[in-house]
Amino acid sequence: MPQMLEKLHHFLRETNQTAIIIPSTDPHGSEYLPEHWKFRSAVSGFTGSAGDLVVTADRAGLWTDSRYFLQAESQLAGSGIELFRMGLPDTPPLWSKLMDWCPSGSRVAFFGQLHPYTEIARQRPVLAERGVDLHPVPEDVIDRLWTDRPALSDAPAFVHPFEFAGQTVTDKLLHLRGLMKDERADAHVVTALDSVAWLMNLRGSDIAYNPLVIAYALVLRDEALLFVPEGKLPPTVIRELEASGVGIRPYEDFLPELGNRFTSSSRIWVDVEASSWAVVDRLGGAGILEKASPITLLKAVKNAAELDGMRACHVRDGVAMVKFLKWMDENVPSGRVTELGAAQRLLEFRQENERFVGLSFETISAFGPHGAIVHYAPDAESDVPVGTDSLYLIDSGGQYLDGTTDITRTVSFGRPGPTQIEHFTRVLAGHLQLSITSFPQGTSGKQLDTIARMPLWEAGLQYGHGTGHGIGAFLGVHEGPHAISYYRCRGQALVPGMITSNEPGLYVQGSHGIRIENVLAVVSDPDRTRADLAFYRFDNLTMCPIDRKLVSPELLTPSQLRALNAYHALVRTVLLPHLDAECARWLTLATEPVEN
């Protein structure tokens, strides 16, 4: 049993608590967490980004989704923690199982700064009806149990310049206040780190793979406040923010400020879906406008400068990918290239660009059966040589000063078998069909998702993740409110300026995994737009060849085959001017037309 889990069992018995719930989040509802907030990982040993832990005095259970089933099985082995596979028919939801474990009279603890307000507000009365007290415990409980807890980052923040942001902080605040006025809101509480970064044109390095600053923002009708750890902002950044009408406050003053500033006559705009219990609780008797933050959509619809930056960084990323795939072609047959070594080599190719800041997520470098683990990341124990007898999947991305990239390619360095070719081509068919789809104004990604799945469904095949997610402009590699998914998707309509991934896949446990991912921009479709109805389509931003050896052209429709060859012609046209003679020759061969 992990030592931290033993300490938590002891804490519950000592304080007369029946259970405690530990989510995979931080006070800002972040997907990627600073090390300081990875308490669930510290207790359980499970390092996946999604999963909630329930601990009682004598048992524990972890709930996670299909992306992490195999990883969780491995990392929880021998821990005494029961794995609950979310989404399977026989898996009880966390809150249902919690009620089984907690009879009337039980006391269940949660961390008010970590748990989403809506979840607690929904479950608290249900538990109360059963005689179970669901109550918050202070965050310092974590410090008492996690004695070697990492500190928050002290790395300085920096300004995201107008050249890349395309809009000043002053203009963003003016626009936001106009929306607040329409809603008769006195203030807007901003807790999501990417929203704070976008609004304040700030970037940092407080969270791995994400150029974010740990901070809160509070926007009032005539004042804007940024709550940030002391020493985080260099003097030049402070001066620029103050010139834009932003006051600087200590990070720890945020919750007290909410409790002290507002009265029962105040109307505060809070995105309760994205805010913690503690945030809403501190507002006390103030009137709350429960509505999604407008910043989420403003941030998702890129302006001209952001779109230019996204296109430019994808060209540079494509150059790195071509160099990498050529290098792999030449070196894999030697047997000396491992999964970790390949990931490192790709990083080195990206680092050749002066605008490269870092990776946008941990690289998935997976050979053979490892490719079937959707979020596999090699380490010293799991690392294997990349061979020629199965498929290699590389899912990676970069953070550049002018944009964010995310790309997946699945390749063969040998002679692929017929099953591998069929599986790959069916995934490719869905990828291509989605990329050439035109759709009317008002269409959501939820409605488009099945387009990418149809070629797989025809063969009785399926994948368990969404087809696409939004992507930030030198922000998070995952961004809402839009997505291409019929899983957890609100149905946000796609509009020009939005960026999304296109990444259908297929995973055969114990054999191979396939995923093909490009980043797309939503643009107007003038050929189909009418006076009474606008139509939109996608532009490919990702510039990188698709492995022709794995394509069975007879499984593609004529329009899909034309789309593949047109895409390769575009990749060739865009990238050749940026390549040396050897790489240019390799790319020319890699993008030759596929004929039926």
Question: What tens digit of pLDDT does each residue of 537-582 get?
Answer: 999 999 999 999 999 999 999 999 999 999 999 999 999 999 999 9
Report residue 285's pLDDT band, with 50, 70 and 90 as the boundaries. Answer: confident
Question: What tens digit of pLDDT does each residue of 485-532 get?
Answer: 987 666 899 999 999 999 999 999 999 999 999 999 999 999 999 999
- Measure the CA–CA gap between 280 and 379, rounded to whole angstroms: 41
Q: Is 574 left (phi over 0), alpha (psi -120 to 50) or beta?
A: alpha
pLDDT of residue 2: 78
The amino acid occupying position 111 is F
Q: Rounded mean pLDDT of 248-254?
A: 97
How many other CB atoms are there within 10 angstroms of residue 25's CB atom? Answer: 22
Q: Rounded mean pLDDT of 70-92?
A: 93
Question: What tens digit of pLDDT does each residue of 467-476 get?
Answer: 999 999 999 9
pLDDT of residue 164: 99
**In Å, how far from its chain's centre is CA 433?**
24
**Among residues 338, 445, 356, which one has the least CA distance to residue 397?**
356
pLDDT of residue 489: 64
Question: What tens digit of pLDDT does each residue of 424-460 get?
Answer: 999 999 999 999 999 999 999 999 999 999 999 999 9
Q: Is it the case that residue 214 has pLDDT exceeding 80?
A: yes
Q: What is the largest CA-CA distance in the chain?
A: 75
**Residue written as tokens 């509070």?**
218
Q: How does the average pLDDT of the chain come out, rounded?
A: 96
Question: What tens digit of pLDDT does each residue of 380-421 get?
Answer: 999 999 999 999 999 999 999 999 999 999 999 999 999 999
Q: Is it the case that residue 70 has pLDDT exceeding 90?
A: no
Q: What is the pTM of this model?
A: 0.94
Q: Rounded mean pLDDT of 299-309?
A: 99
pLDDT of residue 49: 85
- Measure the CA–CA gap between 197 and 213, rounded to whole angstroms: 7
The answer to whether residues 48 and 68 touch, using CB atoms and an 8 Å cutoff, is: yes
Convert 156-173 to b/e letters by CB count within 10 Å (16 or more is b).
ebbbbeeebbbbebeebb
* Domains located in the chain, CATH noted: 3-145 (3.40.350.10), 158-295 (3.40.350.10), 301-590 (3.90.230.10)
* DSSP state at residue 333: G
**Residue written as tokens 């009408």?**
245
Task: Report the share of the chain in percent with pLDDT over 90.
Answer: 93
**Residue written as tokens 């310049």?**
161
CA distance to 11, 170, 409, per residue, from 543 (Å): 53, 35, 11
Q: For 205, how many CA atoms within 13 A lie in the half-sphere containing its CB?
A: 10
Task: Report the share of the chain in percent with pLDDT over 70.
Answer: 99
Q: Is it the case that residue 223 has pLDDT exceeding 70?
A: yes
